[in-house]
């Protein structure tokens, strides 16, 4: 991570790199996707943040939100599985399953869905419970799942998370706590360029410890921004990425 940060323009290469903990093969989401063994196998990843947000809009309570989400995820997974099995039988490619993680994008925020459930800004009390409600709905789907099948909370790919991050409502530590109820780890976290390899190692160790404790796949995609300090903004040119304020890593920040 340090090498990529220091050796590429705006440190953008770190966007394409992550440390993985307990991530199985056939996880279809970049950059944790890999396949070992035989070829001619495929899995499907969903980008359903908009659908999830719509399903829980105006939900009066958590049980109602969960029921709506269970119906949605079952419908989505069934549609994918029908197509996957047909490809499996007709084309000779083995269908490995669907990753139901409702991945967000710059135009579709999973944090909107979380706020629709909690009725509070993302990062406030109730966020953890709302993340847990979505996770529980995913777990109830009995069809063939693969990959994370959890909640992705990428700071620089979700406009609402980026906004809450800039306002100080969410931090690296709070995002790590959400991973305990089936987030997918720490994703696109902008950090000061002078963060040390030892500090990054400790953060990755925390992610790995959670992964082992709860037997779940987690990743750490940490982005030290070369030449930038806490309080400054990133200046990414990649159209897939948002820009946000750089927060200090926990503990004493090293001197330049």
Would you list the DSSP string of 111-169? HHHHHHHHSS-TTSTTHHHHHHHHHHHHHH--S-B-S--SB---TTT-HHHHHHHHTTS
Mean pLDDT for the stretch of residues 97-105: 94
Residue 58 lies in a domain: yes
Q: Which pLDDT score, from 0 to 100, does residue 79 have?
A: 95
Does residue 68 register a pLDDT over 70? yes
How far is Cα 228 from Cα 126, in angstroms, rounded to an integer?
Answer: 33
In this structure, how many other beta carbons lie within 10 angstroms of the beta carbon of residue 107? 8
Q: How confident is the model at residue 183 (pLDDT cuts 50, 70, 90)?
A: confident
**Residue 247 pLDDT greater than 80, yes or no:** yes
| pTM listed for this prediction | 0.92
Q: What's the total number of domains in the chain?
A: 1
pLDDT over 60 (residue 255): no
CB contact set of 196 (below 8 Å; sequence gap of 6+): 2, 254
pLDDT of 252: 46
pLDDT of amino acid 37? 74
pLDDT confidence of residue 26 = 86
Q: What is the pLDDT of residue 85?
A: 92
Over 60: is that where the pLDDT of 256 sits? no
User: Which CATH number covers residue 88?
Assistant: 3.20.70.20
Q: Are strands 218-225 and 19-21 parallel, antiparallel or unpaired?
A: antiparallel
- For 115, phi then psi, to 5°, come to -70, -30
Domain that includes residue 147, residue range: 2-225
Angle formed by the axes of helices 127-140 and 172-179, to 10°? 30
* Average pLDDT of span 60-80: 95
244 Cα distance to chain centroid: 17
Average pLDDT, integer, range 34-39: 82
pLDDT of residue 10: 78
With respect to residue 171, please indicate whether it lies within any of the assigned structural domains.
Answer: yes
Average pLDDT, the chain: 92
pLDDT tier, 237 (very low <50, low <70, confident <90, very high otherwise): confident
pLDDT at 243: 95
β-pair partners for 186: 220
Residue 248: pLDDT over 80? yes
Q: Name the token pair of 250.
A: 């926990």
Whether the predicted pLDDT of 220 surpasses 50: yes
What's the average model confidence in pLDDT over 123-150? 93
């Amino acid at each position: 991570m340090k090498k990529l940060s220091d050796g590429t323009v705006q440190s953008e290469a770190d966007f394409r790199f992550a440390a993985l903990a307990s991530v199985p093969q056939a996880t279809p989401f970049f950059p944790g996707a890999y396949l070992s063994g035989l070829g001619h196998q495929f899995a499907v990843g969903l980008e359903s943040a908009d659908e999830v947000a719509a399903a829980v809009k105006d939900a009066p309570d958590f049980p109602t939100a969960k029921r709506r989400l269970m119906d949605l995820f079952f419908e989505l997974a069934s549609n994918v599985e029908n197509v996957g099995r047909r490809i499996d039988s007709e084309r000779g490619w083995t269908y490995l399953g669907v990753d139901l993680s409702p991945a967000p994008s710059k135009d579709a925020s999973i944090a909107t869905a979380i706020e629709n459930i909690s009725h509070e800004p993302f990062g406030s009390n109730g966020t953890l419970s709302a993340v847990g409600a979505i996770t529980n709905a995913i777990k109830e789907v009995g069809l063939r799942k693969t990959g994370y099948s959890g909640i992705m909370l990428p700071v620089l790919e979700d406009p609402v998370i980026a906004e809450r991050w800039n306002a100080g409502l969410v931090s690296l530590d709070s995002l790590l706590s959400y991973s305990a109820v089936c987030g997918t780890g720490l994703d696109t976290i902008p950090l000061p360029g002078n963060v040390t390899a030892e500090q990054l190692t400790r953060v990755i160790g925390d992610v790995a410890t959670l992964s082992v404790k709860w037997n779940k796949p987690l990743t750490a995609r940490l982005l030290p921004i070369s030449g930038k300090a806490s309080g400054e903004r990133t200046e990414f040119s990649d159209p897939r990425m948002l820009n946000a304020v750089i927060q200090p890593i926990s503990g004493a920040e090293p001197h330049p």
